[in-house]
Every structure is written in C-alpha cells, then in structure tokens.
Amino acid sequence: MATNTANQKAVVKTATRFNTKKFQLQRKNHFEVQFIPTEGSGLDIDADLRFMVVSFPLPKETTEANDVSYFNQTIKTAGKTSFETTTMVLRDAISYDTEKKFLNWRKNVYNPAEGTMGLAAEYKCQAQVREYTPNGEQFRSWRLVGCWPSGIDYGDMSYDDGGEKQLSVTITYDFAYRDDLDKEISL
C-alpha cells in the first residue's frame, strides 16, 4: 500500500513540473509569419499579410547520406542537405483581397497573360516565422531564405458551405535556420 502512495506522489510531482516556467509548453497557435522583400527587388509584400495566415509548417530538412567504401565496410558521411517545400494556408478577405496580394507576387514568378518568367532577384525574398510565449513575448525565430510562391490553390466554392474561403500557397525556399540560437531565453 505504501508503494502505491509513493508512486502517486511521484506522478503528481512530475505533472506539476509543467506548471513551472521551465516546462511551460509551447503552443502551436502563438506565431506569425512575415515575408521580407530583398532590398532593391521591387517586390511589394504587404506586412499585414501575417494577420491572414491560418497555418504555416516549420521547416523540414534532410541530409543525404553518402556511402564511402573503406576496406571491407561502408562508412556513411553527410551529403547534400535539402529543404522541403511548405504549404501555407491563408484566409481570403474581401476588402483586403488576400488572393490578389499573392497573385501580384506570383506574377513576378510567372505572368500568365504574357507567358513570361521573372528573374529570381525580383520574386525571391526571406520569411521570418516568429514564435511567442503565451504572454506574447517572442522567444524563437526561424529564417527562410530564398522564398517564393511556387503554387497556389485558390480554394473551393460551395453552396453547401458558409465557412471562410481559404487559399493554400506552396512556398519553396533555398534553406532555413533558427536565427535566435545565439540568444539566451529567460522566462
């Protein structure tokens, strides 16, 4: 009977650790995304776009393994690293016209009316994904370099659904990194 009581106290003690600042859990809905045009690119991305973001997956990276033959065995070494494209979901608004804002950016990549492709310097930018604590303090930041909209899904219209219209934008980027790793976080 005493062992059961000791186990219950240990569980309570362990669970209460999540009530301390050290183990405060990060929430998925405390973030914002901002696209930052390269100076001199002429790219105009509205800063208020961050208010229309519904979801934005964090970077996914993979490093290939190279096989190196060495005597009677194979040694694995790091090869090329690549980053997956990501799909951002946005709310479409009537007066803000989220769709048009992305069409203007996308037109720098490919202009369907003229059949022309843009120059990378005119459509690539950086993105910053900032994560916040529950009380609104920024504590983590990702930088995505060489971002551009490689695809857009304009959503579905339906007489059976009165919900908000959403856009899915495929964002391709060259690489990403945490740009706050040299900063100490104190909560």
Ranges of each domain in the chain: 25-178
| pTM exceeding 0.85 | no
Q: Is the dihedral of CA 134, 137, 143, 147 positive or negative?
A: positive
Question: Each residue of 83-134: pLDDT tens digit?
Answer: 999 999 999 999 999 999 889 999 999 999 999 999 999 999 999 999 998 8
Given pLDDT bands bounded at 50, 70 and 90, which one contains residue 10?
Answer: low
The CATH number of the structural domain formed by 25-178 is: 2.30.110
Residue 56 and residue 33: Cα distance in Å, rounded?
A: 8
